[in-house]
Amino acid sequence: MEKLTEKELHALVSLLDDTDKVVKNHVRDKIISLGSDIIPFLEKKWEDSFNPEIQKEIEELVHNLQFSQLKERLIDWRNSPDQDLLTGLWIINTYQYPDLEFEKLNADMHQIYFEVWTAFKNDLLPYEQIRIINSVLFNHLRFSANTKNFHSPGNSMLSNVLETKKGNPISLCAIYLLVAQKLGLPVYGVNLPNLFVLTYKSKEISFYINAFNKGLVFSKQDIVNYLDHLKIDSRPEFFEPCNSKDIITRSLRNLVVAFEKLGDLEKSEEVKELLRIAES
């Protein structure tokens, strides 16, 4: 970031309500060129300001800077070799909660894992292992399907789901998946049309889990019947594990729909931009 003195920064921000459009745009461009490091300064200026015009300008600038930072993080994540799922979900989460620290999300997820781990035994059969995870997540911790507000943007925000204990199929599956994989279980996401589920898939055994329905266990034939009911042709990816990138892109698609249903087209367009980055 180009270094400006505090005095210069104050002078720059004070020009945000200049009546000359050219001056105003020049000031905006200059502030944005300083990068996300200037956000704390802008937030302090917002608090100290009694001018609603300047406050509105600062809000837009802060959002633009935060959104640019989010896009950079998403590009880095997409290009990273491991594409860590929790990191990807945190990046999406910062769209609505820009101040959320990864460490906070990680600590909250670790607490859930710890609750499951203390009830867990490695020498159990796969179905028994899943029964224990189901018991802790859905009975003890009371995670459940957000059927009332199915299309709420909050369902795609992991921090919100951890707080309210309510989510959509993909967010509940993500929590389940992160816990199961940390326990060393071969559990993966499966991209079904209109529904996201999980599969327990090892050399010896394979079955499916619906986290949106309290961890209900079902078979390959159930997926065939489900597709028949929807009149959708079977495709291999409807039965096979998907990767973290698939989960992140699907979460972003859900978010686009959520904002469209709220009539917030500005946000849905921004999320479409994030989706293009994730998919490319």
Do 165 and 250 fall within a single domain? yes
pLDDT at 2 over 70: no
Does residue 145 lie within any of the structural domains? Answer: yes
Residues 260 and 208 in one domain: yes
**Does residue 47 belong to any structural domain of this protein?**
yes
How many structural domains comprise the chain?
Answer: 2
Tokens at 154, concatenated = 């909050």
Range of the domain at 45: 6-79
The 10s digit of each residue's pLDDT in 19-70 is 777 777 787 888 888 888 888 888 888 888 888 888 888 888 889 899 999 9
Domain presence at residue 242: yes
Q: Is the pLDDT of residue 258 over 70?
A: yes
- Domain final position from 21, 54, 79: 79
Same domain, residue pair 143 and 24 = no
In a domain, residue 16? The reply is yes
Does residue 1 belong to any structural domain of this protein? no
Cα(11)–Cα(91) distance, rounded to whole angstroms?
A: 33
Could you tell me the pLDDT band of residue 1, with boundaries at 50, 70 and 90?
very low
Q: Quick check: is 217 in a domain?
A: yes
* 60 and 189 co-located in one domain: no
Cβ proximity of 144 and 214 under 8 Å:
yes
Residues 160 and 256 in one domain: yes
Answer yes or no: do 146 and 265 share one domain: yes
Residue spans of beta strands (DSSP E) within the chain: 144-145, 166-167, 187-192, 195-201, 206-210, 216-218
pLDDT at 7 over 80: no
Q: What is the pTM (predicted TM-score) of this model?
A: 0.88
